[in-house]
């Protein structure tokens, strides 16, 4: 009898059999992997809970059952969403043998959007929205008014606390959802009122005539906002172009149904063809920026998709056809490119489709091929009619596109001139750049420094292995008001483009960026703030991916150096200054006010100057307003040393609002900027003139 072979066991005899296969039931998958359902457990994921609940109310409004939606921000991090729709059904579900309400709240992929005729179109197509919110909430309560009765049920972390209860009579219909996000799931629970208002304003534009209210009851004073737009997408266009000049007197607008054939629709539907509602509006501004917002069933598709692709194709083809037919383009080989016809474009593309195919639960991109055909067909036909009937706006649009084409050719020549002299060809970097030794972008830092004086201190005080210094002379060009060819004629911008090594415009390649930390380091005065804003405008408009990859930072140099004897400390704000003085002088800082003298002088406080100035003997306060006032050692210690410095990372939380703000602060229109300054003047402290 042969000896029995021993079974091989790896990894310290760890077993792997059927008992090791875990089956997550109910809402367990959501709590186990929340990021799969809401994107993240950070700020965006937290607010995604609000969007999911509001989406259900919006779906009722799109189906013409709801006219009013209210979002309340309550104390203890609670949010309440109220609508006057039909109310979630409460009768017993034939499959689960539980109420339909409990089924919807406690079961993934359960809802009225998978079949039947409850919703012709809906945003929450996956049926996981409100159940995910329930799973990720410490506490949730749902109240339903329908069929003359009032019902309520509570949940804790997705678990019902009792069966659905009928608590009284009601003469209205609707649903009230109140939830409290779980602090075991989310890193930080703090709802951003502005973020919520911006999102809900957008929804009000998209659902013509629906009233959306926001009430913030978290502070002592209650804040109230209400939105209702009868103009729909045209009102949305007015909002988007509020701070720019529109060259096109009559906006383009179309709202039509496209009958998709059975060959175009998904075979899985087995229902033959379907109607796709296409609604699109656009105007051209005198700006060079492009604003294209796309929506599918009112869900903002930030990454575009088939519907946006169809719109772009129709726009390019229709404008080329019109320009050629009317003699604007005579060369048979010459055509307006997609970039030419989109310069200065402000467009909204919104479609309603029965079974949208979003990529991922966060719904950033639409994947339905019929959406492209529908939008392309509807827009091409409607735009042809628009151009024929509106000769004035048509002429303005084509002239704008031809100017963009001319500028594109000039910019191409300018780029080639700049890039031939840059590191892309293996030639020299700008002479003013003090580069670092390391060639590894992940550990290399570029300090963009204001002025030669600060640049000199930075070059002497830096870590030469990993830190590069690029001093800028004066203020760079305001790129909000200039085209690319004019930009590249500016020596400071040209030096920066070459130093980054990733080209610019269509040739920009983020993989070739030579530094993964780009730090704007300017003086703490008005001129420094202006230079910083100009640089932020440049990066936002032409190197946005640098910001999106979180490579851009703003240095935070100290405002004060406070010394008593041999002891000294740096203070980065007025509040911190008072705290340091209190520590060094062992006096209460309350009510303390130190008078600063000349910018480069130290202020010694040793005698009483007036009734508002405290007397603190032996304390020396130096107010820094220029980086050049610091010697190399001080600049390194306070602003450049990775172990002690303070950096602000630049992010884009809301690109649409960021775009509007750059238009206000840096654009051609003076009135919006004047209003912005006047409305905020009362909040400015310690104005530096």
Three-state DSSP state, 277: strand
> Smallest Cα–Cα separation from 471: which of 486, 460, 483?
460
Q: What is the pLDDT of residue 109?
A: 64
| Main-chain phi, psi angles of 79, to 5 degrees | -130, 135
The predicted pLDDT at position 23 comes to: 44
- 321: tokens are 């056809």
Confidence tier at 426 by pLDDT (50, 70, 90): very low
Rg of the chain (C-alpha set): 30
Given the residues 286, 452, 525, 576, the one annotated as active site? 525
Choose, from 527, 574, 583, 614, the residue flagged as catalytic.
527
Residue 115 is predicted with a pLDDT of 47
Binding site members for Mg(2+): 450, 523, 525
Section 641-664 average pLDDT:
76
Tens digit of each residue's pLDDT (9 = 90 or more) over 70-87: 999 999 999 999 999 999
Annotated catalytic residue within 274, 287, 523, 659? 523
List residues bridging with 517 in a β-sheet: 445
- pLDDT at position 3: 44
Q: Quick check: 682 pLDDT over 60?
A: no
E-strand stretches of 312-424: 345-352
Task: Give the other-Cβ count within 10 Å of 368's Cβ.
Answer: 24
**502 neighbors 509 (Cβ within 8 angstroms):** yes
Query: What pLDDT is attached to residue 578?
Result: 85
Q: What is the pLDDT of residues 506-545, one digit of tens each?
A: 788 999 999 999 999 988 777 888 888 889 888 988 898 9
Q: What is the tens place of the pLDDT at every residue in 160-214? A: 999 999 999 999 999 999 999 999 999 899 999 999 999 999 999 999 999 999 9
- Report which of residues 35 and 439 the model is more confident about: 439
Q: Which of 119-128, 332-341, 457-466, 593-602 has the highest mean pLDDT?
A: 457-466
Instruction: Match 């002239």 to its residue by tokens.
Output: 399
* Predicted local distance difference test score (pLDDT) of residue 657: 63
Q: Determine which of 313-327, 479-493, 555-569, 654-668 has the lowest per-residue pLDDT on average.
A: 654-668
Give the model's confidence band at 600: pLDDT under 50 very low, under 70 low, under 90 confident, else very high.
very low
Annotated binding-site positions: 450, 523, 525
Question: Is 525 among the catalytic positions?
Answer: yes
- How far from chain centre, in Å, is Cα 260? 34
pLDDT of residue 680: 59
The band of 114, judged by pLDDT with boundaries at 50, 70 and 90, is very low
Average pLDDT over residues 14-42: 69
Average pLDDT over residues 475-495: 83
Catalytic residue flag (residue 183): no
Q: What are phi and psi of 619, to 5 degrees?
A: -105, 130
Domains in the chain: ranges and CATH: 28-227 (3.30.565.10), 233-413 (3.30.230.10), 429-557+649-683 (3.40.50.670), 560-623 (no CATH)
Share of the chain above pLDDT 70, in %: 79
pLDDT of residue 265: 59
> What is the percentage of the chain residues whose pLDDT exceeds 90?
47
Edge-to-edge strand ranges of the sheet holding 445-450: 467-472, 445-450, 517-521, 552-555, 647-649
Give the separation between CA 304 and CA 649, rounded to whole angstroms.
27
Average the pLDDT over each of 200-214, 461-475, 671-685 and give the range with the smallest value. 671-685
Q: What is the pLDDT of residue 663?
A: 67
Output the furthest CA–CA distance in the chain (Å, rounded).
109
In terms of Cα–Cα distance, which of 641, 652, 650, 658 is closest to 552?
A: 650
Q: What is the pTM of this model?
A: 0.69
Q: Is 264 considered catalytic here?
A: no
Which residues face 552 on adjacent strands? 518
| Contact between 280 and 350 (Cβ < 8 Å) | yes
| The predicted structure's pLDDT at residue 590 | 39
DSSP code, position 231: T
Task: Please confirm, yes or no, whether 523 is among the known catalytic residues.
Answer: yes
Measured between alpha carbons, how far is 360 from 433 in angstroms, rounded to an integer? 44
**340, 450, 485, 629: which is the annotated catalytic residue?**
450
Length of the chain: 689
């Amino acid at each position: 009898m042969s000896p029995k072979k021993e079974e091989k066991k790896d990894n310290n005899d760890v077993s792997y059999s059927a008992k090791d296969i875990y089956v997550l039931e109910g809402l367990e998958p959501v709590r186990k992997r929340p990021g799969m359902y809401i994107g993240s457990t950070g700020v965006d994921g937290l607010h995604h809970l609000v969007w999911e609940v509001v989406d259900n109310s919006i779906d009722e409004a799109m189906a013409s059952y709801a006219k009013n939606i209210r979002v309340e921000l309550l104390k203890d991090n609670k949010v309440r969403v109220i609508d006057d729709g039909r109310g979630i059904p409460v009768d017993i579900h034939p499959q689960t043998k539980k109420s339909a309400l409990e089924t919807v709240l406690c079961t993934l992929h359960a809802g009225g959007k998978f079949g039947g005729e409850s919703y012709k179109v809906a945003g929450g197509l996956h049926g996981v929205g409100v159940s995910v919110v329930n799973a990720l909430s410490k506490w949730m309560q749902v109240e339903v008014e329908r069929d003359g009765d009032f019902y309520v049920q509570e949940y804790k972390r997705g678990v019902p606390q009792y069966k659905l209860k009928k608590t009284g009579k009601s003469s209205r219909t609707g649903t009230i959802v109140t939830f409290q996000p779980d602090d075991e799931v989310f890193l930080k629970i703090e709802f951003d009122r502005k973020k919520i208002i911006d999102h809900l304003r957008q929804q009000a534009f998209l659902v013509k005539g629906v009233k959306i209210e926001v009430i913030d009851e978290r502070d002592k004073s209650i804040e109230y906002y209400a939105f209702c737009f009868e103009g729909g997408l045209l009102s949305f266009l007015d909002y988007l172009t509020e701070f720019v000049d529109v060259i096109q007197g009559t906006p383009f607008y179309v709202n039509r149904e496209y009958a998709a054939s059975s060959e175009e629709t998904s075979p899985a539907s087995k229902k033959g063809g379907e109607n796709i509602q296409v609604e699109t509006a656009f105007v051209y501004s005198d700006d060079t920026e492009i604003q294209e917002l796309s929506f599918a069933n009112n869900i903002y598709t930030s990454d575009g998709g088939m519907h946006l692709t169809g719109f772009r194709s129709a726009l390019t083809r229709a404008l080329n056809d019109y320009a050629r037919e009317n003699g604007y383009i005579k060369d048979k080989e010459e055509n307006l490119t997609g970039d030419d016809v989109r310069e200065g474009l402000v467009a909204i593309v919104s479609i309603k489709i029965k079974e949208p195919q979003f990529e991922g639960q966060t719904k950033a991109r639409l994947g339905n091929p019929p959406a492209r055909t529908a939008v392309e067909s509807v827009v091409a036909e409607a735009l042809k009619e628009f151009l024929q009937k509106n000769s004035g706006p048509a002429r303005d649009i084509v002239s704008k596109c031809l100017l963009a084409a001319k500028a594109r050719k000039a910019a191409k020549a300018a780029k080639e001139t700049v890039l031939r002299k840059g590191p892309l060809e293996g030639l020299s970097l700008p002479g003013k750049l003090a580069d670092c030794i390391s060639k590894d972008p992940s550990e290399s830092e570029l300090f963009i420094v204001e002025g030669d004086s600060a640049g000199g201190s930075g070059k002497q005080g830096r870590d030469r292995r990993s830190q590069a210094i690029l001093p800028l002379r004066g203020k760079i060009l305001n790129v909000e008001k200039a085209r690319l060819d004019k930009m590249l004629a500016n020596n400071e911008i040209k030096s920066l483009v070459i130093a980054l090594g990733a080209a610019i415009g269509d040739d920009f390649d983020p993989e070739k960026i030579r530094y993964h930390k780009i730090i704007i380091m300017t003086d703490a005065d008005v001129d420094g703030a202006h230079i910083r804003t100009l640089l932020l405008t440049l990066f936002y408009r032409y190197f946005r991916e640098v910001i999106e990859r979180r490579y851009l930072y703003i240095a935070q140099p100290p405002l004060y150096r406070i010394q008593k004897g041999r002891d000294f400390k740096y203070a980065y704000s007025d509040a911190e200054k008072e705290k340091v003085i209190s520590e060094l002088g062992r006096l209460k800082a309350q009510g303390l006010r130190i008078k600063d003298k000349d910018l480069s002088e130290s202020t010694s406080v040793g005698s009483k100057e007036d009734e508002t100035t405290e007397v603190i003997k032996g304390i020396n306060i130096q107010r820094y307003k220029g980086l050049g006032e610091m010697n190399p050692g001080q600049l390194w210690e306070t602003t450049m040393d990775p172990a002690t410095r303070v950096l602000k990372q630049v992010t884009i939380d809301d690109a649409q609002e960021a775009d509007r703000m750059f238009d206000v602060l840096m654009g051609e229109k003076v009135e919006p900027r004047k209003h912005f300054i006047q409305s905020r003047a009362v909040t400015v402290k310690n104005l530096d003139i």
